[in-house]
Structure 1
Amino acid sequence: MTTDKTYDPVTFDIIQNALEAVADEMFVAQRKTSMSAIIYEVLDLSTSILDAKGEIAASGAGIPAFIGVLDKAIHGILKKFPLDEIRPGDVFASNDPYYGGVTHLNDMVLAAPVFAEDRLVAWVANIAHWNDVGGMVPGSMSSDATEIFQEGVRIPAVKLFDQGVENSAIFDILYVNTRLPDYLRGDLWAGIAGLRIGDRRVHELIDKYGADTFEAAVADFMELGETRARAALGKIRTGTYSFEEEQDTGQIHKVELTITDDEFIVDLRDNPAQAGSSNSSREGTEIAVQLAFKSFADPDAPGNGGFFRPLNIKTTPGTIFHVKEPGALGYYSEVEIRLFDMLLRALAHHFPGVVPAGNFASICGTVVGGPHPETGRHYTIVEPQVGGWGAWQGHDGPSGQFSGFHGETFNCPAEVAEARYGLAVDQLALNAGPGGEGQWRGGKGIDVHYRVRADHNFLSLGYTRSRIPPWGVDGGLDGSTNFVEVIRTDGTSEKFSFATNVEVNTGDVIRVVTANGGGYGDPKNRSEEDIARDLRNGYITPERAREIYGYEG
């Protein structure tokens, strides 16, 4: 680090660790005060401390793909507002992907500048999924949308507070554009509470160590991140590596990786045109690449702005990886997770032995709502789903986990779902269906049954890997697929992967099935002890065990 002043590295270490603790405290404050189970149970949020330029200095728990939003959101604010218009007491909000919101309109970013006297020294920020922000359908996520105007209220990096004074007009606009105003109000103020905790704690650090030392510690942490990234890059074989993968739709996604001594170049220019609501912003594509790069290069390094400096990402405006306004982005997550998964698969293809077999690799966003059977009040649930991860040499894949893209989050407990939502949970089990067998088998997905308790409810969803299953490795079998089955009271049923506003009524069952991960190694080499355990646990039927493993025990 170039400076005229000598700093104590121990003090730097204390400040850097303190910033991570502050981000975690912000996370806990927001979680504990939110109204919606998608936040306080599923943990569909993230928090971060950033430097004055909007680069991530430290991040809290939550969704990795969300943490990567927050630096880009601050860049959007700084692009819109001159520095002399950013003042102590300001709080900004943005959910618009075309103004730094990055993802889709359901995800609200809140950010506040931190000043030391008259100098901007840091930002505190968070992002959380709100259940409903208006738009053409309850839940605000429609696979039928073709323009962002259909997806809800757009908040284009505006001030919620101006020097500590509430801009009540913005609050009113938010409250009147949702079907769930009480929940939105609670989730909004929980986010503001998290910012206030972060602001207070960062000021305590500045008061204790001084603004210059604080900023120097942050810069040093960024340089550590970059040093770790370049060291990892130096261990990867240089060259250009191409890969393409068919998607459920029949489209082909393509990537060309070029690894040099000082750059990790990801070329995505040759990809399908944007269409419908399955598109990603340019910034969202950057996040998917950042997550794959970090997972592959150095999972234990600091995930700050410095670590991602060697990345060079190339896209073409107007494609699914670089949507142009006014393209819709409701199911952006399925585009980004497909890219994240494809990058890992490409790396697995060219650098074997590093990446496990394929996983269920979908957010599996499931939206159900309607009149509550006891109160008549409108409810909406938004649930991502867990699934099976791929096996790797010596290990079965983990079962019932969120994807690496979705990160440190949880499924909503059945007890909470039944108490808060208008549904009964008849079954919550691992997926006992076939798929993913091998010497080491893929992790199991889930098989969950929600029974509808009132008429005129609705179901919307967006699942990928619904046709093409997770891949097996070294003779292991491919996994299974993700889907939702609606079982009607008359015994008929329908299967869906993408759907909007499917009517469901009293007694109908919404069956959520997520994929088993891919297997690793020839199934004939699986140990009899492991096969017997799978049979005891109900992970495989005796008939399937005989067919795949030749097991007669």
Structure 2
Amino acid sequence: MYFLGGDRGQVINAGGPQSLDEVLLREGSILQPRSPAPLGMRGLTMMRLLAAINGLLNVGGGKAPAAHSAYVVAMLRGSYTDDTGESQRFLLVDGLGVGYGGRDHADGIDAVYFVAQENYPVEFLETSYPVRLKSYGIAEDSGGPGRHRGGTGIVREYEILADDANLSIRIDSVRNPPWGVHGGMNGGSGYAVVNPGTPQERKLVPLSDGNRLLKGDILRIVTGGGGGFGHPYDRAAEDVLEDVLGGFVSRESAERDYGVVIAHGKVDAEATQRRRANRPAAKTFHRMEYVDVVS
């Protein structure tokens, strides 16, 4: 990680990692459990490990990216009535993108699904499964504020057309959102809710199975973002304005977190200068608050 992150000219598959001679793991740890310990959620373990390594590099004086969210997997299974009146079974596994951490030279990557970079089009889902996508877009304010903003997560809203379905959902970094670094603030957390804004609204446990859904239910999944890199007050005001106009950052967050006042679609330069004169103090990491050590 240090080798690849420290030299931007390196290509990941160019053989650099082959220079590693040995990897030592502690037996009985989450990375090398003792049999017959159950194994699962390898994706979450891998994503947490990568963030931990990046954190160590930053403590050691490096400039690794801020922490990232772990991609979300939703598995919907059940039955529906086809055009002939016959009952059919289905299994929908949807991988949802999240935000990656801000970098020392650029913002974090928005709405990305790790290695495969998958982004199933709305039409693919609607023609293949008994669901209708009501909305699909960027989750505003999910990217951690910073000189380089954390990448944003997404909002994906499904209308259930199946007669009966069960949902398995996997959302990580909810209680402990991805940390920001070098003055950057933490990214947002994800969540899943059924029938939002109605008397039947219910929030789902982020890591859960057996969530029953019926025809006509609305399932909204919001994924988390990455942490910010560098103090938010050091971000160019025009970049903050662009994020606000693009739906990545709210006006409230622009003023509260970035110290940028926006009025009538433009930066209020005088008000922004006054607000940024009171620069909040920062420490190495941020997770709900500024700290020097993340545990």
Could you say which TM-score interval applies, normalised by the shorter chain? 0.7 to 0.9
Choose from 73, 86, 89 the match for 1:365: 73
Amino acid at match of 1:530: D
How big is each residue's C-alpha offset from its partner over 1:358-387, in whole Å with a ceiling of 9 and x where there is no partner?
Answer: 111x13221112113435311111122211
Aligned length: 256
Mapped to 1, the partners of 2:16 and 2:35 lie a distance apart of: 27
How big is each residue's C-alpha offset from its partner over 1:18-58, in whole Å with a ceiling of 9 and x where there is no partner?
Answer: xxxxxxxxxxxxxxxxxxxxxxxxxxxxxxxxxxxxxxxxx
RMSD value, Cα: 2.5
**Is 1:338 the equivalent of 2:48?**
yes
Partner of residue 347, structure 1: 57
Partner of residue 38, structure 2: 328
Mapped to 2, the partners of 1:348 and 1:402 lie a distance apart of: 24
**Is 1:551 the equivalent of 2:260?**
yes
**Is 1:417 the equivalent of 2:128?**
no
**Range with greater deviation from structure 2 (328-337 or 461-470):** 328-337
How big is each residue's C-alpha offset from its partner over 1:293-342, in whole Å with a ceiling of 9 and x where there is no partner?
Answer: 7744775264669816512222314x422234444334222222222221
**Is 1:503 the equivalent of 2:193?**
no
Partner of residue 101, structure 2: 390
Partner of residue 24, structure 2: 313
Contact persistence 2:74–2:95 (CA under 8 A): yes
Partner of residue 277, structure 2: none
Mapped to 2, the partners of 1:516 and 1:313 lie a distance apart of: 31
Contact persistence 2:141–2:253 (CA under 8 A): no
**Is 1:515 the equivalent of 2:235?**
no
Mapped to 2, the partners of 1:481 and 1:425 lie a distance apart of: 22
- Structure 1 residue 436 displacement after superposition: 0.7
How big is each residue's C-alpha offset from its partner over 1:245-269, in whole Å with a ceiling of 9 and x where there is no partner?
Answer: xxxxxxxxxxxxxxxxxxxxxxxxx
Contact persistence 2:71–2:98 (CA under 8 A): no
Report SS of the residue matched to 1:341.
Answer: helix
For 1:65-84, list aligned pairs within 5 A: none
Indicate how the Cα distance of structure 1 residues 416 and 294 shifts in structure 2: closer, same or farther if over 3 A, else same.
Answer: farther
The structure whose residues are more often helix, as a share, is 1
TM-score (norm 2): 0.78
- Structure 1 residue 533 displacement after superposition: 0.8
Contact persistence 1:334–1:462 (CA under 8 A): no
Mapped to 2, the partners of 1:442 and 1:528 lie a distance apart of: 16
Report SS of the residue matched to 1:419.
Answer: helix
Amino acid at match of 2:58: A
Report SS of the residue matched to 2:23.
Answer: strand
Amino acid at match of 2:57: L
Indicate how the Cα distance of structure 1 residues 455 and 297 shifts in structure 2: closer, same or farther if over 3 A, else same.
Answer: same
Choose from 450, 465, 475 the match for 2:173: 465
Contact persistence 2:142–2:224 (CA under 8 A): no
Mapped to 2, the partners of 1:308 and 1:502 lie a distance apart of: 46
- Structure 1 residue 447 displacement after superposition: 0.8
Partner of residue 248, structure 2: 539
Indicate how the Cα distance of structure 1 residues 373 and 535 shifts in structure 2: closer, same or farther if over 3 A, else same.
Answer: farther
Partner of residue 90, structure 1: none
Contact persistence 2:74–2:168 (CA under 8 A): yes
Contact persistence 2:173–2:189 (CA under 8 A): yes
How big is each residue's C-alpha offset from its partner over 1:465-520, in whole Å with a ceiling of 9 and x where there is no partner?
Answer: 11111111221111111222222664322132100111011122221211121112
Mapped to 2, the partners of 1:359 and 1:545 lie a distance apart of: 21
Amino acid at match of 1:499: S
Partner of residue 452, structure 1: 160
Mapped to 1, the partners of 2:113 and 2:228 lie a distance apart of: 18
Report SS of the residue matched to 2:96.
Answer: coil
Q: Using CA pairs below 8 Å that are at least 6 residues apart, which structure has the higher relative contact order?
A: 2
For 1:215-230, list aligned pairs within 5 A: none
Indicate how the Cα distance of structure 1 residues 523 and 297 shifts in structure 2: closer, same or farther if over 3 A, else same.
Answer: closer
Contact persistence 1:373–1:453 (CA under 8 A): no
- Structure 1 residue 434 displacement after superposition: 4.9
Report SS of the residue matched to 1:524.
Answer: helix
For 1:9-408, list aligned pairs within 5 A: 292=1, 295-296=4-5, 299-300=10-11, 302=13, 307=18, 309-317=20-28, 319-353=29-63, 355-360=64-69, 362-374=70-82, 376-403=87-114, 407-408=115-116
Amino acid at match of 1:398: I
Contact persistence 1:372–1:421 (CA under 8 A): no
Indicate how the Cα distance of structure 1 residues 306 and 494 shifts in structure 2: closer, same or farther if over 3 A, else same.
Answer: closer
Amino acid at match of 1:526: R
Mapped to 2, the partners of 1:304 and 1:373 lie a distance apart of: 52
Indicate how the Cα distance of structure 1 residues 384 and 357 shifts in structure 2: closer, same or farther if over 3 A, else same.
Answer: same
Mapped to 2, the partners of 1:294 and 1:459 lie a distance apart of: 41
Partner of residue 492, structure 1: 201
Any gaps of 5 or more consecutive residues in structure 2?
262-266, 268-295
Amino acid at match of 1:363: Y
Contact persistence 2:180–2:229 (CA under 8 A): yes
Amino acid at match of 1:445: G
Choose from 497, 521, 529 the match for 2:238: 529
Any gaps of 5 or more consecutive residues in structure 1?
1-291
How big is each residue's C-alpha offset from its partner over 1:450-477, in whole Å with a ceiling of 9 and x where there is no partner?
Answer: 1111232010022211111111122111
Contact persistence 1:387–1:399 (CA under 8 A): yes
- Structure 1 residue 444 displacement after superposition: 1.0
Mapped to 2, the partners of 1:336 and 1:541 lie a distance apart of: 32
Mapped to 2, the partners of 1:297 and 1:440 lie a distance apart of: 18
Mapped to 1, the partners of 2:31 and 2:72 lie a distance apart of: 19
Amino acid at match of 1:432: E
Indicate how the Cα distance of structure 1 residues 549 and 338 shifts in structure 2: closer, same or farther if over 3 A, else same.
Answer: closer
Amino acid at match of 1:446: I
